[in-house]
Structure 1
Amino acid sequence: MTHTNRPPRKPGRFNAYTAYTWVLQHASEINGDPKRVAVGGESAGGNLAAVVSQMARDKGATLPVHQLLVYPMAGHDFNTPSYKRNAEAKPLNKPMMEWFYKHYLGKPQDANNPYAVPLAAKSLKGLPPATVIAAEIDPLLFEGKTYADRLKNDGVKVTYKEYPGVTHEFFGMGKVVDKAKDAEDLAARELRQAFGNQ
């Protein structure tokens, strides 16, 4: 058995925050601007982007200029209207999400930790502006809409758009799905605006 000085591996959400702070500290080395850094992701990636934004606020760090949340995994309630309606949807369904959460949460009480489940946060005030994109045929639809509504209610500027007739994972299909192309264009416009590139 060998001994190392490396700390134990942390859950992905903490690695995401570490990556974010690394970008802020090393932006000039990669021809970036630390004042124009956004976070974004789809599904579990949307979860991490929301968590990074919350952690940056809570730690008093520089906030992202924008958070792009594409059908984010924001809640932990498997009985929402969209879970009931899309329990057997493809490519993502309720049994899959239950499996994912079983392996994502370190312990059951982590479902109450906003750094694991963004909707568990008591307040979303002071977070960066957000774009939330949702798909109709997706168990995560309700929690994405709920997160967008809570952001708005807490004074955060939010653009929310739900795309009818499409499923989870549609976002990357812009070459063949018109609604995906529209969603990609929306995301690009919102990010350009956040970066100050009108």
Structure 2
Amino acid sequence: MTTISRRASLMLPFGLAGLVAACAAPPEPQMPADPTGRADPEMRALLESLQALRPQPIETLSPAEARLQPGMTEAVRHRLRALGRSDAPRPLPVVRDLEIPGRGGPLAARLYSPAEPPRAGQPPRAPLPLIVYFHGGGFVIANLDTYDASARALAAESEAIVLSVHYRQAPENKFPAAHEDAYAAYMWALGNAASLGADLTRVAVVGESAGGNLAINVAMAAREARAPLPVAMGLIYPVAGTDMTTPSYLANADAKPLNAAMMKWFFGHYAASPSDAQDTRLNVYGRAELRGLPKAIIVTAEIDPLHDDGTRLASRLQESGVQVVAKDFAGVTHEFFGADPFVLAKAGDAQRFVAGELRSAFALPAPAVVVPARRVTPRG
């Protein structure tokens, strides 16, 4: 990514005009692998592997071009090969692609199971917990393959089935298309849990980055519809607000692999109008009603513009009476969670942390649906 010197622009409130202006291509000076100088040795080596792949600055590209750029997934494979390790995916007994209905048409999905299906003549096994997982990519880029490693790790470490779901992306599909698809996927998963070999009473939602935003919105939508709530929400460096003047946005304006200019580019493509900046589905910690939600498991990364999104969301959830278990990981960047633990030990620590908290949630009775008497701000 390139150095962005427009600090003044970060002091502007989030708005469509500011986002469009931020899409102008900046100059392309060389950046160090870690512009903040705070990455630990393993993270620095991984960032150097990313730099070796020569990705172009996302914020200077069209969405179609951006979707073709190498990212952290390719950087992890590059680093594994450099270390003489296999870059093959983590093996699981079951990994299969499927298609599920969304609000705007069929959605690509992928099912991961840590257990072999019973053979002919064998009794059926007990149903496993289910995680409905939403990948990141700023509502614009990335897909199931990009976040395949995260889904595999969650299935293996949580001892749960994972249903990873793609969704409509911007700018072809503006806000709230991705949110509508995420909720449709969750409701489909509930209705088809038995056929997936899953336990309807033990379903969690997990997401990374933009997917973290989708995960908490699924829980809010289920609460308001009086539908079964997930037993927990795994929110991994979530997009939780639209304030780009937070300390972490300023301190990590030029961070890699995610910087402030990229976030403006993402929001600029997803937002349908300037008013979307204050919609409760995007400005979650600022305006959403958070009472009555299930346990939140929050992961933040030190070198990440979204660091304060996660910490502010955790505070608001706690103030709203929601159980929160949060862990900050020093010396790592956005997108660290899905890295191979051999390449980045803290990725393995984060995967085990989230999985352990999910297992604890799966062991408890399903949460009751609690609809708040009033909402702070109506959606939209």
Fold shared, TM-score > 0.5 on shorter chain: yes
Once residues 7 and 23 of structure 1 are traced to their aligned partners in structure 2, the CA distance between those partners, rounded to angstroms, is 17
1:38 is paired with a residue whose SS is strand
Once residues 154 and 30 of structure 1 are traced to their aligned partners in structure 2, the CA distance between those partners, rounded to angstroms, is 34
Do residues 129 (structure 1) and 295 (structure 2) align? yes
Once residues 176 and 108 of structure 1 are traced to their aligned partners in structure 2, the CA distance between those partners, rounded to angstroms, is 41
Residues 7 and 122 of structure 1: CA distance in aligned 2, closer, same or farther (over 3 Å): closer
Contact 2:241 2:282 in 1 (8 A): no
Q: 1:79-90 to 2 correspondence within 5 Å?
A: 79-90=245-256
Q: 1:25-64 to 2 correspondence within 5 Å?
A: 25-64=191-230
Partner of 1:3: none
Partner of 2:333: 167
AA partner of residue 185 (structure 1) = R
Deviation track 1:1-59 (CA, whole Å, cap 9, x = no partner) reads xxxxx969760111000000011111111111111110001101101001111111111
1:105 to 246, 251, 271: 271
Deviation track 1:100-126 (CA, whole Å, cap 9, x = no partner) reads 001112211111212233224342110
Contact 1:131 1:158 in 2 (8 A): yes
Overall identity of the aligned pairs, in %: 48
Contact 1:54 1:115 in 2 (8 A): no
1:161 is paired with a residue whose SS is strand
Partner of 2:324: 158
CA RMSD of superposed structures (Å): 1.7
Contact 2:281 2:288 in 1 (8 A): no
Do residues 190 (structure 1) and 349 (structure 2) align? no
2:346 to 169, 179, 182: 179
Do residues 118 (structure 1) and 118 (structure 2) align? no
> Normalization by structure 2: what TM-score?
0.49
Gaps of 5+ in 2: 1-102, 106-172, 365-380
1:130 is paired with a residue whose SS is strand
Once residues 183 and 362 of structure 2 are traced to their aligned partners in structure 1, the CA distance between those partners, rounded to angstroms, is 20
Deviation track 1:135-190 (CA, whole Å, cap 9, x = no partner) reads 00000001110001111111111101111110000111123111111111001101
Once residues 110 and 37 of structure 1 are traced to their aligned partners in structure 2, the CA distance between those partners, rounded to angstroms, is 30
> Normalization by structure 1: what TM-score?
0.92
* Deviates further, 98-107 or 134-143: 98-107
Once residues 195 and 269 of structure 2 are traced to their aligned partners in structure 1, the CA distance between those partners, rounded to angstroms, is 36
Q: Which runs of 4+ in 1 moved over 3 A?
A: 6-10
Partner of 1:144: 310
Contact 1:43 1:72 in 2 (8 A): yes
Contact 2:242 2:282 in 1 (8 A): no
Gaps of 5+ in 1: 1-5
- The structure with the greater share of residues assigned to helix is 1
Once residues 133 and 159 of structure 1 are traced to their aligned partners in structure 2, the CA distance between those partners, rounded to angstroms, is 9
Contact 1:41 1:70 in 2 (8 A): yes
2:217 is paired with a residue whose SS is helix
Residues 120 and 106 of structure 1: CA distance in aligned 2, closer, same or farther (over 3 Å): farther
Higher alpha-carbon Rg: 2
Once residues 112 and 56 of structure 1 are traced to their aligned partners in structure 2, the CA distance between those partners, rounded to angstroms, is 21
